[in-house]
């Protein structure tokens, strides 16, 4: 695209740009138009979010909804501030520790498992149905059993987190490993480099974009897993905090715990994105580098 208006734009797929090219009269008007759109583009998401909070607050106040049904945002913020920081940090650390350990275990198990499934038809035919059965089992329902079996420690919680987080990593990595272009597999074979190198040098790098997509999804799942585990059995952690607050009808406080959980999930998600940017920028689409 050679339009004079493209210089200010960062991305060539913006719909306004095509519109701009279609207009007959000249850059001046177009630049104005684009500036407005750019501003809107940047500020629309936070504005929409703020508007949502305002509507929520207004509805809660106007209709006098009791805080144990739906607390207003202001009440949630109050509850957030009312709980002392060390208490928060204690709960956050408990949840984060379980989530990260389960997440790490999921990666350590899933990637080698995916390599095995992708390279052996026999293994794939044998294990895949089992994996699907495990995945189809509602982990929330199994969680109490796991806690009873594995006793009161971090172990059952880590296992529950693992069970919730691992499947997308396996499936995505297998897809990525199998998406390697045939020619490269043939190039590898023609060099007689061996299966190990074919996997390390060609297939695994090619699977990285898929792996990172799954790793992003699994951050959220890992937090879900940790919270589920804490609902079942824990005396610390944000899941425990929410369950505890709810049982005492301290709903704003439960919502405050929820806000913290969302923040943790977002940060972990962003961290994985950042890791991808630093470690394998080529695996991202050009617009996201």
Partner 1 sequence: MPLDQPVIRFTDVGQSFPGGDGKPIVALDDLSFGIGRHEFVAVLGPSGCGKSTLLRLIAGLIRATSGKVEIFGQEVTEPRDEIGIVFQKPTLLPWFDVLGNVTFPMRHKYGFVSEVERQRARELLALVGLSDFAARRPEELSGGMQQRVAIARALLLDPDILLMDEPFSALDALTRDEMSFELLRIWTERPKTVLFITHSIPEALLLADRVIVMTPRPGRVREVLQVPLPRPRSMKTLEEPAFHELANHIRGELFSRPVAA
Give the binding site for partner 1 (CB under 8 A).
Answer: 181, 183-184, 186-193, 197, 201-202, 205, 208, 280, 282-283, 286
3-state SS, the chain, equals CCCHHHHHCCCCCCHHHHHHHHCCCCHHHHHHHHHHHHHHHHHHHHHHHHHHHHHHHHHHHHCCCCCCCCCCHHHHHHHHHHCCHHHHHHHHHHHHHHHHHHHHHHHHHHHHHHHHHHHCHHHHHHHHHHHHHHHHCCHHHHHHHHHHHHCCCHHHHHHHHHHHHHHHHHHHHHHHHHCCCHHHHHHHHHCCCCHHHHHHHHHHHHHHHHHHHHHHHHHHHHHHHHHHHHHHCCCCCHHHHHHHHHHCCCHHHHHHHHHHHHHHHHHHHHHHHHHHHHHCHHHCCHHHC
Name which of 150 and 193 has its Cβ closer to partner 1: 193
Name which of 150 and 184 has its Cβ closer to partner 1: 184
Shortest Å, Cβ 146 to partner 1:
39
Shortest Å, Cβ 176 to partner 1:
13
Name which of 80 and 280 has its Cβ closer to partner 1: 280
CA distance 244 to 238: 9
Q: Are 218 and 165 in contact (CB under 8 A)?
A: yes
Shortest Å, Cβ 288 to partner 1:
14
Name which of 119 and 246 has its Cβ closer to partner 1: 119
Shortest Å, Cβ 194 to partner 1:
9
Shortest Å, Cβ 200 to partner 1:
9
Name which of 190 and 287 has its Cβ closer to partner 1: 190
Shortest Å, Cβ 57 to partner 1:
48
CA distance 281 to 45: 26
Shortest Å, Cβ 187 to partner 1:
7
Name which of 161 and 213 has its Cβ closer to partner 1: 213
Name which of 119 and 265 has its Cβ closer to partner 1: 119
């Amino acid at each position: 695209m050679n339009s004079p208006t493209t210089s200010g734009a960062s991305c060539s797929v913006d719909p306004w740009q095509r519109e701009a090219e279609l207009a007959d009269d000249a850059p001046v008007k177009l630049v104005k138009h684009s500036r407005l759109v750019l501003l809107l583009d940047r500020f629309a998401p936070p504005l929409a979010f703020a508007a949502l909070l305002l509507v929520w607050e207004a509805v809660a106040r106007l209709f006098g909804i009791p805080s144990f049904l739906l607390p207003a945002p202001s009440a949630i913020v109050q509850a957030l501030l009312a709980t002392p920081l060390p208490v928060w940090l204690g709960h956050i650390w408990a949840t984060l520790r379980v989530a990260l350990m389960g997440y790490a275990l999921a990666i350590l198990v899933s990637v080698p498992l995916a390599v095995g499934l992708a390279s052996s038809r026999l293994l794939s035919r044998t294990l895949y149905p089992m994996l699907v059965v495990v995945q189809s089992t509602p982990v929330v329902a199994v969680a109490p059993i796991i806690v009873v079996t594995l006793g009161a420690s971090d172990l059952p919680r880590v296992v529950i987190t693992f069970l919730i987080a691992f499947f997308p990593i396996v499936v995505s990595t297998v897809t990525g490993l199998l998406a390697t272009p045939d020619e490269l597999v043939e190039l590898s074979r023609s060099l007689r480099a061996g299966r190990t190198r074919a996997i390390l040098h060609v297939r695994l790098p090619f699977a990285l974009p898929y792996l990172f997509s799954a790793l992003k999804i699994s951050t959220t799942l890992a937090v879900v897993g940790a919270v589920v585990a804490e609902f079942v059995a824990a005396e610390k952690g944000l899941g425990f905090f929410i369950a505890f607050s709810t049982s005492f009808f301290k709903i704003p406080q439960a919502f405050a715990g929820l806000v913290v959980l969302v923040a943790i999930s977002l940060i972990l998600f962003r961290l994985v994105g950042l890791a991808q940017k630093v470690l394998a920028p080529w695996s991202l689409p050009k617009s996201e580098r």
